[in-house]
Amino acid sequence: MERTYESAMALANRATGPLAAHFESWVSSLIDKQYAAAVVYVKARHAAAFDHWLTAQRIDLEDLSEVHLTQYQDRRRRMRQPVCASTRRQERRELVHLLGDLRELGVCAKARVATVPTDDIAAAFGHHLQHQQGLADSSIERYRTVARQFLVECFGQGAVDLSTIGTVDVIGFVQRQSKRLTPPAVKCVINGLRSFLRYAQYRGDVVPELVAAVPAVASWACTPAVPKAISAEHAQRAIDSCDLTTAIGLRDRAVLLLLARLGLRAREVIALRLEDCDWDRGQLLICGKARRECILPMPVDVGEAIAAYLERGRHHCEDRHLFLRSMAPVRGLLQGSDGIGSIVRYALRRAQVDAPHSGSHQFRHALAVRMLQSGASLPEIGEVLRHRSQQSTSIYARVDIEALRCLVVAWPGAAQ
């Protein structure tokens, strides 16, 4: 049978098992997510075979779980039918995808995950951070991981009694972490641990003195790393390397211009939505760290690049994110997926640029360096980059070598 959308829908229409009531809508959802016709057909074929097996085994969708996927794949082994490993892996992937979609529709029960007391307390802590303190998702995940590690070291897999935690436990945990992590990473651990102990104090489980017992890590303000900024020429070469005859090229050019002209962080580009573009005023609404919103002007070249992407490159999709994945399932880029970093790496590779590193943050550093060299003050740079602390902006003072030369004191006894 030809691998087309019509043939996949024909398989859905012929289904008579437990999946029959949902098969057609499931195939339609795959088409809406921009999966290729051949991919949709393969998924439908595996689903049809699985539906036939469910009928023979008299298994209802409400009871469907990963156990049944394993039993389904073991049928060939019991019948002594040879099957290559790659075919078996693909079959497993397609069935796991099907099961996940059925769970999203509410047809199947959610996966049963065995938890221990430490997981429950860490989850409650994450819920507190999200709904009471409004932290970003990345910070919540980091703090929750630290809390769980600390609880596992104190209580293992058994019952948790926070009132038994002592100063020795807190200091010992930090000392063990400091032996395997860099100072900046240890500082994140300390912040997460201190936040968790404050939460425990809020619950009435620990005394305030325990929060004060969390040791600090040495973090010298005079020794931050020198910002690694891409040069203006290399940045322009990376931008010009985008193929404007393709949807991917139009998207990548708009992303790179946002990084270079406005100094946006990767997570801020990912979070942009269609309604954040104010075309009448030429402005962009940016959701920065700690969910702080600010309005930035939209440069002409940035606006033209975004408009070109929306007109000729962006897929028709219900997702309201400004920038979408180029491969199915078509949706917004996920936070932490390194989607922006991949765009930067591919652009640098196409332009044959040997940049300081391959991350997106070098464009933000480059914007600050160019502003400094053009005569902008550090407070002005901090305002553009939306720094909350002047200390964050002060690192760029170390980049302006020419301005620092006049501050050099002659070495005693040296020739005048």
Output DSSP code: residue 187: H
Q: pLDDT value at position 321?
A: 95
Give the number of other CB atoms < 10 A from CB of residue 262.
Answer: 21
Q: pLDDT value at position 415?
A: 55
**Contact, 214 vs 386, CB < 8 A?**
no
**Contact, 285 vs 278, CB < 8 A?**
yes
Cis amide leading into 329 (omega within 30): yes
What's the CA gap between 188 and 138, in Å, rounded?
12
Q: What is the CATH number of domain 232-402?
A: 1.10.443.10
Output DSSP code: residue 353: -
Which residue out of 265, 267, 314, 325 is catalytically annotated?
Answer: 265
Q: pLDDT value at position 105?
A: 85
Give the number of other CB atoms < 10 A from CB of residue 359.
Answer: 18
What's the CA gap between 102 and 402, in Å, rounded?
63
Q: For residue 401, what are its two tokens? A: 């070598």
Domain assignments of the chain as residue spans, ordered by start? 5-104, 117-212, 232-402
Burial (Cβ within 10 Å: 0-12, 13-18, ≥19) of residue 98: buried
Output DSSP code: residue 295: E
Q: pLDDT value at position 1?
A: 63
Q: pLDDT value at position 79?
A: 65
**Contact, 387 vs 393, CB < 8 A?**
yes
**Contact, 266 vs 340, CB < 8 A?**
yes
To the query of whether residue 387 is one of the catalytic residues in this protein, the response is yes
Output DSSP code: residue 324: B
**Contact, 230 vs 355, CB < 8 A?**
yes
Q: Hunting for tokens 């039993």 — which residue is that?
A: 71
Which residue out of 43, 148, 234, 364 is catalytically annotated?
Answer: 364
**Contact, 97 vs 108, CB < 8 A?**
no
- Total-model pTM: 0.78
Which residue out of 52, 103, 142, 387 is catalytically annotated?
Answer: 387
Q: Which residues, other chains included, contact 82 with Cβ-Cβ below 8 Å and sequence gap of 6+? A: 76
Q: What is the CATH number of domain 117-212?
A: 1.10.150
To the query of whether residue 364 is one of the catalytic residues in this protein, the response is yes
Q: Which residues, other chains included, contact 297 with Cβ-Cβ below 8 Å and sequence gap of 6+? A: 282, 283, 284
pLDDT tens across the length of the chain (416 residues): 678 999 999 999 999 999 999 999 999 999 988 899 999 999 999 999 999 999 999 999 988 988 999 999 888 666 666 767 888 889 999 999 999 999 988 888 887 766 788 999 999 999 999 888 878 778 899 999 999 999 999 999 889 999 999 999 999 999 999 998 888 889 999 999 999 999 999 999 999 899 999 998 776 555 556 677 888 899 999 999 999 999 999 999 999 999 999 999 999 999 999 999 999 999 999 988 777 889 999 999 999 999 999 999 998 888 999 999 988 889 898 876 678 999 999 999 999 998 777 789 899 999 988 888 888 888 888 888 888 888 788 877 666 655 556 655 667 765 55
Say if 117-212 and 232-402 have the same CATH topology. Answer: no
Closest C-alpha to 47, from 4, 106, 91: 91
What's the CA gap between 292 and 243, in Å, rounded?
34
Which residue out of 289, 331, 370, 386 is catalytically annotated?
Answer: 289
Closest C-alpha to 241, from 258, 253, 231: 253
